[in-house]
Amino acid sequence: MTAELSERSPEIHHSHRDVTGGWLRPATFGVMDGLVSNFALVAGVVGGGASGKVVLMTGLAGLVAGACSMASGEFTSVSSQAELMQAEIAVEKRELEIHPAEEERELALMYEAKGLRPELAAEVARELTADPEVALDVHVREELGVDPNDLPSPWVAAGSSFAAFAIGALIPLIPFVFGVGSILPALLLSALGLVITGGIVGKITARPFWYGGGRQLLLGGLSAAVTFAIGLAVGTGLS
């Protein structure tokens, strides 16, 4: 049987990347948010006339607070999403146990809507419903649009979000760690970080490097400029 299935299996000439994993979105959002928000925070404090030591302490506090906030937020949101999916999967499993004929007919109607002849759709639904595990898997995929065996992990989302935010938030602080009091080195380093990280994300998502890098540089630059202007205005008013 195995040899027969092997002979009948189609030859695959391409592969797809995992687009359902729980790491890319929080990691991307985390590093961008860490870099932009902490550089904007640093720019605002510098604009307010703070010393290099105060800027460093403020930036480190922003790094820790932001990373913890991102991780806890991702964990809660992804956990809630996964729990909702599991609850709906349980509903579908119960319906298959209580009303198997109705669920089989529902599946047949789905395949009819996809273009199969009514007789063929009914036959396919009958074959799939014969195995309870296969029937549940198919109904969940068709009705909920999710893979019941590949639900997002809250730990993966939280961990990648925490690490990514911390890495991004550390970049604008590096000059201040070495005693530099000017905002210019942090500005240049942050701009480089925005271009590189944005470009890498662009490549991952099949976009040009310059597109991803330029987009993130523009957004990050606008955020930092607004915060710096507010800090400058407040600092001038308090002095």
Q: What is the pLDDT along the chain (239 residues), one digit of tens a residue?
A: 445 544 554 454 445 455 444 556 667 777 878 888 888 888 878 877 788 888 889 999 999 999 999 899 989 988 998 888 888 888 888 988 898 888 889 888 888 888 889 899 888 889 888 888 888 888 888 888 877 777 778 888 888 889 989 999 999 999 888 888 778 888 888 889 888 888 887 777 778 888 888 888 888 778 777 777 776 777 545 44
Residues in the chain: 239
Residue 107: the pLDDT is 86
| Residue 137: partners with Cβ closer than 8 Å, 6 or more residues away | 148, 149
- Burial (CB count <10 Å: 0-12, 13-18, 19+), residue 77: middle
Residue 16: the pLDDT is 46
The letter for the amino acid at 96 is: L
Residue 1: the pLDDT is 43
Residue 67: the pLDDT is 92
Q: Which two tokens stand for residue 192?
A: 């480089």
Give the span between the Cα atoms of 59 and 176, in whole angstroms.
9
Give the span between the Cα atoms of 237 and 239, in whole angstroms.
6
Residue 170: the pLDDT is 93
Q: What is the model's pTM?
A: 0.72
Give the span between the Cα atoms of 181 and 179, in whole angstroms.
6
The letter for the amino acid at 216 is: Q
H-helix segments, the chain: 2-8, 24-47, 52-98, 100-113, 118-129, 132-139, 154-170, 174-177, 183-204, 209-238
